[in-house]
């Protein structure tokens, strides 16, 4: 790691972490100077949002339980109009990446500040990234206006996340730290954040999947998720994210499951070009071979075995390869067609037992 010359970007956020610490939200909101907070959630998490609004008392100006997967612009336009109608001066999103995405989309339209109360491991709360869907197409941008002013991580709120979703969401987070390790923008601080995030998630996720009600495992997983989200905030992603984006977009595959399946294959692909990152990854995982360790972790958390199992058609391989090679992405190992064809075919067929 070059400690003599590097670039590192971070975003100012207050982070409260700990079981039960959502009780401190009213004080936090007062410190931030918010007086009229609109509470956001998905329809499925309306009760959590209502409980939070109750906790905030008069400071809450209502609950908008309309967040939807992939942040559709129609939903965001209507939500921003609603925030203006109720004269909100801030939003508080309780939920996963979809709800936090709605808070960000409102911020993009109104510049309203927000607090995020994450209940999955996706990590969106740490980042200036927002992806929005219009006419079936998802476009992603980075804009500091969407970074939440504060995050409250309360692991008790993750106890209800089902075991399978927890494992997949955790692998999504894990992938951010792995790609940060070989990012062209890596700094000594980022490398440490990524290594610690990898360590925390690797020890916590199999425990969470086996015993979703274990509060210590939940706290450890959420701690790892914070670190991995911070990696995503400050570094460019590479082939793994490109592959997931292409496959998800072309075949409408589930976001987190696709991440969990693809990651070990991309680690294997990039290994020859990323000696230092692989050494760090192996050390963080306590393994000799980082590739088999990531395959084992994916298996332990119940990742799908193949793209075929996820529902991708075999005649989709060539279009997927075309798109992965189109508008080239930065990647530590150059992308050549025959190798990318082999990569997608291997993921389609899946690893033998």
Give me the residues paired with residue 94 across strands.
Answer: 117
Nearest distance from C-beta of residue 284 to ligand NAD, angstroms: 21
Structure tokens at 292: 């088999």
Nearer to ligand NAD, 96 or 332 (CB): 96
**From residue 346, how far is each of 307, 316, 342, 343 by CA, in Å?**
9, 13, 6, 5
DSSP string, 324-342: HHSSPPP-SS---HHHHHH
Closest separation between CB of residue 131 and ligand NAD, Å? 5
Dihedral-angle region of residue 64 (phi above 0 means left; psi in -120 to 50 means alpha; beta otherwise): beta
- Is residue 170 near ligand NAD by the rule CB under 6 A? no
CA dihedral for 291, 257, 247, 226, sign (positive or negative): negative
Q: Is 199 in the site for ligand NAD (CB under 6 A)?
A: no
- The CB-of-162 to ligand NAD minimum distance in angstroms stands at 7
Task: Give the 3-state DSSP-derived string for 138-155, with helices as H, strands as E and coil as C.
Answer: EEEEECHHHCCCEEEECH
Q: Is 90 in the site for ligand NAD (CB under 6 A)?
A: no
Rounded CA separation 224/141 (Å): 24
101 binds ligand NAD (CB under 6 A): yes
Nearer to ligand NAD (CB atom), residue 120 or residue 270: 120
Decide whether 163 or 317 has the Cβ nearer to ligand NAD.
163
Q: Interacting stretch for ligand NAD, rule CB under 6 A, among 10-18, 107-115, 118-126, 181-189?
A: 118-126
Query: Considering the rule CB under 6 A, would residue 302 count as an interface residue with ligand NAD?
Result: no
Q: Residue 255: which H helix or E strand, with range? A: helix 255-270
Distance CA 307, CA 328 (A): 23
Residue with nearest beta carbon to ligand NAD: 97
Residue entry with tokens 């977009």 = 249
- Could you say whether residue 258 binds ligand NAD (CB under 6 A)? no
| DSSP class of 72 | B
Shorter beta-carbon distance to ligand NAD: residue 76 or 120 = 120
- Encoded one letter per residue, x for contact with ligand NAD by CB under 6 A and - for no contact, window 62-81 reads -------xx-----------
Q: Is 350 in the site for ligand NAD (CB under 6 A)?
A: no
Smallest CA-to-CA distance from 129 within 176, 82, 182 is with 176
- Contact flag: residue 46 with ligand NAD (CB under 6 A): no
User: Which residues between 307 and 336 bind ligand NAD (CB under 6 A)?
Assistant: none
Per-residue contact flags (x/-) with ligand NAD for residues 218 to 247, judged by CB under 6 A: --------------x---------------
Contact 300, 212 (CB under 8 A): no
Tell me which of 76, 90, 91, 158 binds ligand NAD, using CB under 6 A: 158
Give the Å distances, CA to CA, from 22 to 19, 153, 242.
8, 8, 35
User: Shortest gap between Cβ of 43 and ligand NAD (angstroms)?
Assistant: 8
Nearest-angstrom CA–CA distance, 111 and 170:
30
Q: Which is nearer to ligand NAD, 191 or 221 (CB)?
A: 221
For CA atoms 265, 267, 273, 275, give the dihedral sign.
Answer: negative
The minimum distance between CB 255 and ligand NAD, in angstroms, equals 5
Interacting residue ranges for ligand NAD, rule: CB under 6 A: 42, 44-45, 69-70, 95-99, 101, 119-120, 122-124, 127, 129-131, 157-158, 160-161, 169, 232, 255-256
């Amino acid at each position: 790691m070059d400690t003599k010359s590097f670039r590192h970007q971070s975003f100012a956020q207050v982070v409260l972490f700990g079981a039960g610490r959502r009780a401190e939200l009213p004080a936090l909101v007062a410190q931030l100077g918010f007086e009229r907070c609109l509470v956001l959630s998905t329809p499925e998490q309306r009760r959590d949002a209502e409980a939070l609004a109750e906790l905030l008392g008069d400071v809450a100006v209502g609950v908008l339980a309309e967040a939807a997967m992939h942040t559709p612009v129609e939903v965001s336009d209507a939500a921003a109009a609603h925030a203006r109608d109720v004269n909100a001066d801030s939003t508080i999103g309780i939920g996963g990446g979809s709800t936090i995405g709605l808070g960000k989309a409102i911020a993009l339209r109104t510049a309203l500040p927000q607090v995020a109360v994450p209940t999955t491991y996706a990590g969106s709360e740490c980042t200036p990234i927002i992806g929005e869907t219009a006419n079936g197409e998802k476009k992603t941008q980075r804009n500091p206006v969407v970074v939440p002013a504060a995050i409250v991580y309360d692991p008790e709120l993750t106890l209800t996340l089902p075991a399978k979703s927890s494992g997949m969401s955790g692998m999504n987070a894990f992938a951010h730290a792995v790609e940060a390790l070989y990012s062209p923008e890596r700094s000594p601080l980022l490398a440490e954040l990524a290594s610690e995030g990898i360590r925390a998630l690797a020890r916590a996720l199999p425990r969470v999947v086996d015993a979703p009600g274990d509060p210590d495992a939940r706290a450890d997983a959420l701690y790892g998720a914070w670190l991995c989200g911070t990696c995503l905030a400050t570094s460019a992603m590479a082939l793994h994210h490109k592959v997931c984006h292409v496959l998800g977009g072309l075949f409408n595959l589930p976001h987190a499951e696709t991440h969990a399946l693809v990651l070990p294959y991309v680690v294997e692909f990039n290994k020859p070009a990323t000696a230092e990152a692989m050494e760090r990854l192996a050390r963080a995982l306590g393994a000799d071979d980082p590739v088999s360790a990531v395959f084992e972790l994916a298996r332990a958390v119940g990742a799908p075995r193949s793209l075929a199992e996820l529902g991708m058609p075999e005649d989709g391989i060539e279009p997927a390869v075309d798109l992965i090679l189109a508008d080239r992405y930065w990647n530590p190992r150059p992308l050549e067609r025959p190798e990318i064809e082999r990569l997608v075919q291997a993921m389609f067929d899946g690893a033998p037992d």
